[in-house]
Amino acid sequence: MDHKPVIIGVAGGSGSGKTSVTNSIYETFKGHSILVIEQDYYYKDQGHLPMEERLKTNYDHPLAFDNELLYKHLEKLLRYEAIKKPVYDYTRHTRSDKTIVVEPKDVIIIEGILVLEDERLRNLMDIKIFVDTDADLRIIRRLIRDMEERGRSFDSVISQYLNVVRPMHNQFIEPTKRYADIIIPEGGHNHVAIDLLATKIKTILEQKSFL
Ligand X SMILES: Nc1ccn([C@@H]2O[C@H](COP(=O)(O)O)[C@@H](O)[C@H]2O)c(=O)n1
Ligand Y SMILES: Nc1ncnc2c1ncn2[C@@H]1O[C@H](COP(=O)(O)OP(=O)(O)O)[C@@H](O)[C@H]1O
14 is annotated as contributing to ligand binding: yes
Q: How far is CA 180 from CA 23, 40, 79, 115, 151, in A?
A: 19, 20, 25, 11, 32
19 is annotated as contributing to ligand binding: yes
Q: Does 60 bind ligand X (CB under 6 A)?
A: yes
Q: How far is CA 126 from CA 10, 13, 114, in A?
A: 11, 21, 17
**Which residues, 6+ apart, have CB-to-CB distance to 177 below 8 Å?**
130, 132, 183
Q: Which stretch binds ligand X (CB under 6 A): 12-20, 73-81, 124-132, 176-184?
A: 12-20
CB of residue 142 to ligand X, shortest distance in Å: 6
Q: Does 9 bind ligand Y (CB under 6 A)?
A: no
Closer residue to ligand X (CB): 165 or 180: 165
The answer to whether 157 touches 143, Cβ cutoff 8 Å, is yes
Q: Which of 54, 61, 122, 141 is in the footprint of ligand Y by CB under 6 A?
A: 141
CB of residue 57 to ligand Y, shortest distance in Å: 18
Closer residue to ligand X (CB): 106 or 111: 111
Q: Which stretch binds ligand X (CB under 6 A): 1-9, 11-19, 29-37, 190-198?
A: 11-19
Annotated binding site for ATP: 12-19
